[in-house]
Structure 1
Amino acid sequence: MPSIELHAAQRDDFDTLENLMQFYVYDFSEWLPLKLGEHGFFSIQPKTDYWRNPATRPFLIRVDGELAGFVSVDHDTHIEGAEYNIGYFFVSRRFRGQGVAKFVASTLLSQFPGQWQIFHLDANPAARRFWAKVMPHLTGDQFTLHQRPVDGYPCTFYRLQCPQPSP
């Protein structure tokens, strides 16, 4: 089992997060009509305001000390009563299928007790399989499913309650 670590991103990490967004968008270009710009990069707006928002908590993922992806927790919710949302979640292809994403999701849920929503595009089969497989284990089958569009794209939402850790 690899050594997986989740580190809160610091101000110095914002350029790294922006660079990783290119790979995140690349993956999404398989399911959404996203186009490369003339210089070979996806034309995405910098997310500086998002990363610096006090309600946004970005994290870098490391596996055996090597940068492996990123994840963010924010308050951009679509389900009534939800307090937390996974805004972005990216694990580099080399580290997929090794338990990295499950470790990260479990760690985040334990760090932020309260009402959560986690959603994915229905057009993303890897996300659909991943969340359907891990959600029962992460929650003890204590979640609800909701279907609704986000920006016109059908999405599946998981709503769950993460309890305060026992002392």
Structure 2
Amino acid sequence: MKVTLEKIRPDKKEVLRNLYSLYLHDLSAYTDGLQISKDGSFEFDSFSLIWEKEGITPYFIKVDEKLAGFVLILEAPFTKKVDKVINDFFVLNAFRGKGVSKAAVSEIFAHNKGRYYISQLVKNETAVHFWKNIYKQMEIDFVEQPEVQDGEEVVYQTFTVIKMPGIALERERR
């Protein structure tokens, strides 16, 4: 199993829009702040900014060339005290629990050095646990803080990636 990141071109934005609806649907289990729209989808209200503003980079997560999810990374001017923010990270259910998420994070860190900020909704215990496992497996020292963002309790971590942290995650499975 080969996990890769592919920068999303503007001509693939509808694919990303569809994935975002699935991602926001998943997040709606942990917040009252996300509601389904009249057309039956969950919408990211700032979606158009992805291709209009500098400092926003979307990637598809692919497994053996198959679409498996996406990640949205923010940089300056959206970041102030850090270099990178993993703003959104989503893997389709069919690929969860198979090492895809860990391999995708490994790819992100291998190609994007710097100081990071990652936050999770406190109620999303699965995401909080996932990121803490990543830090432990990759031997990343992080600082964690609670915060309220848009009326939601979140926990966020900051840390620095200067080289591929800790153990190399397996990128191919047989």
User: Structure 2: any 5+ residue segments left out of the alignment?
Assistant: 165-174
With the length of structure 2 as denominator, give the TM-score of the two structures.
0.84
| 1:62 maps onto 2:62 in alignment | yes
Contact kept? 2:22, 2:42, Cα under 8 Å: no
SS in 1 for 2:133: helix
Contact kept? 1:114, 1:164, Cα under 8 Å: no
Partner of 2:49: 49
Partner amino acid for 2:89? Answer: F
Partner of 1:39: 39
Contact kept? 1:18, 1:46, Cα under 8 Å: no
The structure whose RCO (Cα within 8 Å, separation 6+) is larger is: 2
- Residue 81 of structure 1 deviates from its aligned partner by 2.4
Partner amino acid for 2:109? Answer: L
SS in 2 for 1:109: helix
| 1:92 maps onto 2:95 in alignment | no
Segments ≥4 residues shifted beyond 6 Å: none
Can you list the C-alpha shifts for 1:8-48, whole angstroms capped at 9, x where unaligned? 11121211111111001100111112222233222443511
With the length of structure 1 as denominator, give the TM-score of the two structures.
0.88
- 1:71-110 map, 5 Å: 71-75=71-75, 76-77=78-79, 81-110=81-110
Partner amino acid for 2:113? Answer: P
Among all aligned residue pairs of Structure 1 and Structure 2, give the percentage whose two residues are the same amino acid. 27
Q: CA RMSD in A?
A: 1.7
From the superposition, tell whether residues 123 and 68 of structure 1 become closer, same or farther in structure 2 (CA, over 3 Å).
same
Q: How many residues align?
A: 161
| 1:26 maps onto 2:25 in alignment | yes
SS in 1 for 2:36: coil
Q: Distance in 2 between matches of 1:57 and 1:42?
A: 21
Contact kept? 2:122, 2:154, Cα under 8 Å: yes
Partner amino acid for 1:31? Answer: Y
